[in-house]
Amino acid sequence: MEHRGLGLLALLAALAPCCCAAPGPTLWPMPLSVKTSPRLLVLSRENFSIYHDPSSTAGPSCSLLQEAFRRYYDYIFDFNKSRLNPAKHNSAAELKQLLVSVVLESECDLYPSITSDESYTLAVEGPVAFLKANRVWGVLRGLETFSQLIYQDSYGTFTVNESNIIDSPRFPHRGILIDTARHFLPIKTILKTLDAMAFNKFNVLHWHIVDDQSFPYQSVAFPELSNKGSYSLSHVYTPNDVRTVIEYARLRGIRVIPEFDSPGHTQSWGKGQKNLLTPCYNGPKQSGTFGPINPILNSTYCFLSQFFKEVSTMFPDQFVHLGGDEVEFTCWESNPEVIAFMKKAGFGRDFQRLQSFYIQKLLGIVSTLNKGAIVWQEVFDDHAKLNPGTVVQVWKNEMYHVTQAAVTAAGFPVILSAPWYLDWISYGQDWRNYYKVDPLDFDGSQEQKKLVIGGEACLWGEYVDATNLTPRLWPRASAVGERLWSQQNIKDIEDAYDRLTIHRCRMTRRGIAAEPLFTGYCNF
Amino acid sequence: MAGPGLWFSLLLAAALAGRAAALWPWPQYIQTSESHYAIFPYNFQFRYHASSAAQPGCSVLDEAFQRYRDLLFSSSWWQPPERTRKQHAPEKSSLVILVSTPGCNELPSLESGENYTLTINDDHCFLLSETVWGALRGLETFSQLVWRSPEGTFFINKTEIEDFPRFPHRGLLLDTSRHYLPLTSILDTLDVMAYNKFNVFHWHLVDDSSFPYDSFTFPELTRKGSYDPATHIYTAQDVKEVIEYARLRGIRVLAEFDTPGHTLSWGPGAPGLLTPCYSGSHPTGTFGPVNPILNSTYEFMSAFFLEVSSVFPDFYLHLGGDEVDFTCWKSNPDIQSFMKKQGFGNDFKQLESFYVQTLLNIVSAYDKGYVVWQEVFDNKVKVRPDTIIQVWREETPVRYTKEMELITGAGFRALLSAPWYLNHIAYGPDWREVYMVEPLDFKGSPQQKALVIGGEACMWGEYVDSTNLAPRLWPRAGAVAERLWSSELVTSVDFAFKRLTRFRCELLRRGVQAQPLSVGYCEQEFEET
């Protein structure tokens, strides 16, 4: 009743029902350079340890690394098949230790940033393997890779091939967008997502924290925003929750970029902040409904200054996402005071200029707070004057190559999301489409291409909450993860299928309910 | 507007005002009012009426009472209410159940009555049903009627419900071959099926990909055909557990062993069963459908289905019969000469019919009825007049509504699944299309319509395993459940949206990982464990 239309794929899978080929290492995302030898080393839970190399600039006082060592020790030994280690059945040499060395100042207590060095080298030889990185961020990536190298042979012995790996990411900004406004996501779900992100070497959590539907961010300066604007008083992120997320992310080398989208997408702000939104008119009378933020009042900018001052201290990342997408002009058009303001300012009937007026003032506020800004592409499309360095996120699927070319030609950095809206689901293996995208596939000079700092997989929340987030995100987002980390020439999709199938099993073993790519099973 | 339409919309208005708006699926007849009664967990009980045919010791109801107690009150205070606080509402301290016909230890069947009457008024708090199965449906409805005030007190409104299913076969198909589903996933699904008043678990046990059913007659089938014979199998004990768990919830287990196609996983454990494919005059080493020309095939099937008939007690078995690929048969010289001898010419449909008919005769001899996929009908296999045909193809060879017309026109009973392939996903509220299907919307006489015994929501397993099964099923399958239970007049998508939104929150409260229908929230969200 079902196979029709699946064709060859189905047939192949049917003929070879075993999803899990001969045991061996399976890396995802693929590193820059991998050399593996057929020489095997064995490890045991009892004898193996991960520790600091004496030459390292980081030591036991670096809790970020201490925690990572423990985490990855557990991933290697506890989350694999729990078979008893048999007596050594072969004469393979033993790997007893992984020594980790940070070469430059470790940055152990800092937050990761857009310029963080994530490169590392990994030399696996008996009896001691070496992981070397300039900063702790590279160590985190290298530990993930090391854990992926280890597998259990058919006797259950933990095994690793002697290998040499040199690795660094293709793009510095590799993000996942979650939306906690359409549906509230419990902290546990967010932390789990951060775990899975680390397994896929993602390094940015783009937290679309508020929107029309709800305002779960509990502001210290403006507590009424969430008191009145959240779904309920238990659907709120307290400052403590936010700090928990940021620290959990930091320990995994992940930046947290909050998005407070304005002037549109702000219905929920209006409930707790009087006079912030534009009153809509029906003829000469107010209709009782509200539109985008009111851009003509001083009080608006007063509020925004205070609010973003808080945001910029609450969220340590260098960047704040200011939104700026999908501003609906009908309410502004209906409002006589807005019209009068437009006339005075000489905007005529061009509401894009009003929007730009607003955005430019907001960008000014944010830059005085020493923060960089990320905006959705409309802000650029509508010709707002942007400070150099303002990052433009391209999300509209239509002709996104053209947008990329235009934004980079104007000299602004770009984050690509258009082909990676994972909330758009369909039947079958849509991860292949995500995988096939190349973010630099647009007409432009070398300089322009350099302005593409990365991309983000977006999981908007209209139809997503804690019940279905994880299987909807993983392993589909993993396709984006490899595209953003690995080199351009890593694009053999059948090889990707084989690796990703095993990688998703690894994720499920580590407690992430990643959905299957196709018929088969996980061998554990 | 007059007649039933008016009557119905009045009911809607009344119901929306009260708490009954959370009911899913919507009952056949309901009258509620704003007046309500308090219920206190510390003293509330389900009790058997003295003249009930079912009495304490009735496994189905004893266990159901326990279950619904837990569902209603699990997370709440069990202390008596404070005496100082005045209760405005009168109290109900028990629901009295009267079942008129005995039958606590039996299995539900296609013919089982599920009707019940629920009366909650000043004089009564009373559930009347013909069978224990009807009582189960009534208990579910009762549990959906109870609501909780912000202060935490439980209430139930004055209500009168007379309810019965529109169709007797309301099924859900799970596929445990493309991906193995752990027993807990199956049992959890049965729980949610009961919340939706589904009554048939169609268990597509085996297929090309794997053979997890652990046969005691042919243990090699699982040893060689399962993904992992140590972990990815269903033992006899597992199957028993599923059947009993389902029975206690008034759900039949309809086992499917699909042949002659979709059988690649049978091959390794049953040498000689599948057709060897040829390239020219040489066997290629690959195999096609079950080999229909060998006596040994039918000996095998006799022994295998003898076992299956006893392991699965339901009167019906599902014998599959879909998507038989003829290329391998065509390539095989032995089959070619058999065809010639039989006078089938080049018509492989006749060969397929030959196989299916022989199989049907075998299964009939075991006193079983059978369900088959529509190809068996399309290919004009001679089948017993009481065969049930399941319609799954949306557009070919004809649109499914036409197919329903043809099947019932030929006098066969029909099951509808074509518009209810829930494994097909799309962005947005696709439950609406599922909901708007009218199973009897085809040309045909009343006699023909009467032959439609129901339908099934299908969750095929190519892209589904225990990681995503629950959110993909629920609450989308709920749309099918209401379509099959409720009156054909219950068609308002907006009304359904309101109720289904609340029902999915109730599912979350009950621990079910049911995904959202739209933006919004539930008081109790799903928390990862």
pLDDT digits (tens, 9 = 90+) for B429-442: 999 999 999 999 99
The band of B528, judged by pLDDT with boundaries at 50, 70 and 90, is confident
Q: Give B-chain residues touching A465 at CB under 8 angstroms.
A: 515-516, 525-526
Helices and strands (H, E) in chain A, number of each type: 18, 18
Give the pLDDT confidence score for residue B161 in this predicted structure.
Answer: 98
Q: Which of B209, B222, B257 to substitute to test the interface with A, most A CBs within 10 Å?
A: B209
Considering only CB atoms, B179 lies closest to which of A464, A519, A523, namely A519
Q: Is B525 on the interface with A (CB under 8 A)?
A: yes
Q: B487: which 2 tokens?
A: 């009156």
Considering only CB atoms, B471 lies closest to which of A427, A468, A520, namely A468
3-state secondary structure of B528: coil
Contacts of A29 (CB under 8 A, 6+ apart): A200, A201, A478, A481, A482, A484, A485, A486, A490
Q: Which phi and psi (to 5°) does residue A167 adopt? A: -150, 145
CB contact (8 A) between residue B525 and residue A466: yes
3-state secondary structure of A472: helix
Q: How far is A7 from chain B (nearest CA, A)?
A: 12
> What fold is seen in the domain A173-510?
TIM Barrel (3.20.20)
DSSP of A162-215 = EEEEEE--S-SEEEEEEETTTS---HHHHHHHHHHHHHTT--EEEEE---SS--
DSSP of B482-494 = HHHHS-TT---HH
Q: How far is A189 from chain B (nearest CA, A)?
A: 7
Q: A105: which 2 tokens?
A: 């100042």
Q: Between A336-345 and A351-368, two packed helices, what is the crossing angle to 10 degrees?
A: 80
CB contact (8 A) between residue B286 and residue A15: yes
Q: Is A82 on the interface with B (CB under 8 A)?
A: no
DSSP of B254-293 = EEEEEESSS-GGGGGGSTTSEEEEEETTEEEEEEEEE-TT
Report how far residue B67's alpha carbon sits from residue B47's, in angstroms, rounded to the nearest whole number.
14
Residue of chain A minimizing CA distance to B321:
A1
- Which residue, B353, B354, B336, is CA-closest to B345? B336
Q: A61: which 2 tokens?
A: 């006082």
Q: Is B243 on the interface with A (CB under 8 A)?
A: no
CB contact (8 A) between residue A183 and residue B232: no
Q: Where are the beta strands (DSSP E) in A365-519?
A: 372-376, 391-394, 414-416, 452-459
Helix (H) / strand (E) containing A33:
strand A33-43
CB contact (8 A) between residue A471 and residue B468: yes
Give the pLDDT confidence score for residue A524 in this predicted structure.
Answer: 66
Report how far residue B322's alpha carbon sits from residue B132's, in angstroms, rounded to the nearest whole number.
36
Give A 225-254 residues with CB within 8 A of chain B: 231-232, 234-235
Does the pTM exceed 0.90? Answer: yes
Residue of chain B minimizing CA distance to A464:
B516
- Which residue, B388, B400, B402, B418, is CA-closest to B480? B418
Q: A27: which 2 tokens?
A: 């890396």
Considering only CB atoms, B521 lies closest to which of A1, A231, A426, namely A231
Full pLDDT tens readout for chain A, 524 residues: 544 434 433 344 333 334 444 456 799 999 999 999 999 999 999 999 999 999 999 999 999 999 999 999 999 997 655 555 555 556 789 999 999 999 999 999 999 999 999 999 999 998 999 999 999 999 999 999 999 999 998 888 999 999 999 999 999 999 999 999 999 999 999 999 999 999 999 999 999 999 999 999 999 999 999 999 999 999 999 999 999 999 999 999 999 999 999 999 999 999 999 999 999 999 999 999 999 999 999 999 999 999 999 999 999 999 999 999 999 999 999 999 999 999 999 999 999 999 999 999 999 999 999 999 999 999 999 888 999 999 999 999 999 999 999 999 999 999 999 999 999 999 999 999 999 999 999 999 999 999 999 999 999 999 999 999 999 999 999 999 999 999 999 999 999 999 999 999 999 999 999 999 999 999 86
CB contact (8 A) between residue B468 and residue A513: yes
Size of interface A-B (CB pairs under 8 A): 144
CB contact (8 A) between residue B423 and residue A2: yes
Helix (H) / strand (E) containing A361:
helix A351-368
Q: Computed from CA positions of residues B64, B70, B73, B78, in that sequence, does the dihedral angle turn out positive or negative?
A: positive
Report how far residue B345's alpha carbon sits from residue B382's, in angstroms, rounded to the nearest whole number.
19
Pairing of strands B252-259, A93-94: unpaired
At which residue do the structure tokens 């006078």 appear?
B343
Report how far residue A423's alpha carbon sits from residue A461's, in angstroms, rounded to the nearest whole number.
7
- Which residue, A25, A151, A37, is CA-closest to A499? A25
Q: Which is more confidently placed, A117 or B383?
A: A117
Give the pLDDT confidence score for residue B13 in this predicted structure.
Answer: 45
A33, A165 Cβ separation under 8 angstroms: yes
Report how far residue B113's alpha carbon sits from residue B129's, in angstroms, rounded to the nearest whole number.
9
Q: Which of B226, B515, B523, B529 to substitute to test the interface with A, most A CBs within 10 Å?
A: B515
Residue B522 one-letter amino acid: C
Boundaries of CATH 3.30.379.10 in chain A? Answer: 33-82+90-167
Q: Between A493-509 and A187-199, two packed helices, what is the crossing angle to 10 degrees?
A: 140
3-state secondary structure of B177: coil
CB contact (8 A) between residue B427 and residue A423: yes
Considering only CB atoms, B228 lies closest to which of A428, A518, A523, namely A523
Considering only CB atoms, B426 lies closest to which of A425, A465, A521, namely A425
Give the pLDDT confidence score for residue B74 in this predicted structure.
Answer: 78
Q: Specify the DSSP class assigned to residue A235.
A: S
B524, B508 Cβ separation under 8 angstroms: yes
Mean pLDDT, range B68-91, rounded to an integer: 72
Give the pLDDT confidence score for residue A156 in this predicted structure.
Answer: 86
Q: Is A166 on the interface with B (CB under 8 A)?
A: no
Q: What is the ipTM of this complex?
A: 0.92
The band of B515, judged by pLDDT with boundaries at 50, 70 and 90, is very high
Q: Specify the DSSP class assigned to residue A88.
A: P
Give B 34-93 residues with CB within 8 A of chain A: none
Give the pLDDT confidence score for residue A11 in this predicted structure.
Answer: 40
Q: How far is B315 from chain A (nearest CA, A)?
A: 23
Q: Give A-chain residues touching B518 at CB under 8 angstroms.
A: 462-463
Q: Is A18 on the interface with B (CB under 8 A)?
A: yes
Q: Which phi and psi (to 5°) does residue A8 adopt? A: -60, -45
Contacts of A298 (CB under 8 A, 6+ apart): none
The percent of residues above 90 in pLDDT, for chain B, comes to 91
Q: Where are the alpha helices (DSSP H) in B156-200?
A: 183-195
Maximum CA extent, chain A? 89
Mean pLDDT, range B177-188, rounded to an integer: 98
3-state secondary structure of A232: coil
Q: Is B285 on the interface with A (CB under 8 A)?
A: no
Domain segments of chain B as ranges: 18-72+89-163, 169-510
Q: Is B467 on the interface with A (CB under 8 A)?
A: yes
- Mean pLDDT for chain B? 93
Report how far residue B529's alpha carbon sits from residue B527's, in angstroms, rounded to the nearest whole number.
6
CATH no., domain B169-510: 3.20.20.80
- Which residue, A423, A425, A426, A451, is CA-closest to A439? A451
Q: Give B-chain residues touching A156 at CB under 8 angstroms.
A: none
3-state secondary structure of A357: helix
Q: Which phi and psi (to 5°) does residue B479 adopt? A: -60, -40
- Which residue, A141, A59, A134, A132, is CA-closest to A101? A132
CATH no., domain A33-82+90-167: 3.30.379.10
At which residue do the structure tokens 């008919």 appear?
B357
Q: How far is B276 from chain A (nearest CA, A)?
A: 14
Q: Which phi and psi (to 5°) does residue A301 adopt? A: -75, -30
CB-side neighbour CA atoms (13 Å) of A218:
13
Output Rg (C-alpha) for chain B, integer angstroms: 25
Give the pLDDT confidence score for residue A154 in this predicted structure.
Answer: 84
Give the pLDDT confidence score for residue A88 in this predicted structure.
Answer: 54
Q: Give B-chain residues touching A423 at CB under 8 angstroms.
A: 427
CATH no., domain B18-72+89-163: 3.30.379.10
Mean pLDDT, range B348-359, rounded to an integer: 95
Q: A177: which 2 tokens?
A: 């967008």
Give the pLDDT confidence score for residue A78 in this predicted structure.
Answer: 78
- Which residue, B497, B456, B515, B452, is CA-closest to B24? B497
Residue B284 one-letter amino acid: T
Give the pLDDT confidence score for residue A90 in this predicted structure.
Answer: 61
At which residue do the structure tokens 């494994």 appear?
B423
Report how far residue B479's alpha carbon sits from residue B457's, in angstroms, rounded to the nearest whole number.
9
CB-side neighbour CA atoms (13 Å) of B180:
26
Report how far residue A99's alpha carbon sits from residue A297's, in angstroms, rounded to the nearest whole number.
60
A401, A440 Cβ separation under 8 angstroms: no
B171 has pLDDT over 80: yes
Contacts of A119 (CB under 8 A, 6+ apart): A133, A134, A138, A166, A167, A168, A169
Report how far residue A3's alpha carbon sits from residue A16's, in angstroms, rounded to the nearest whole number.
15
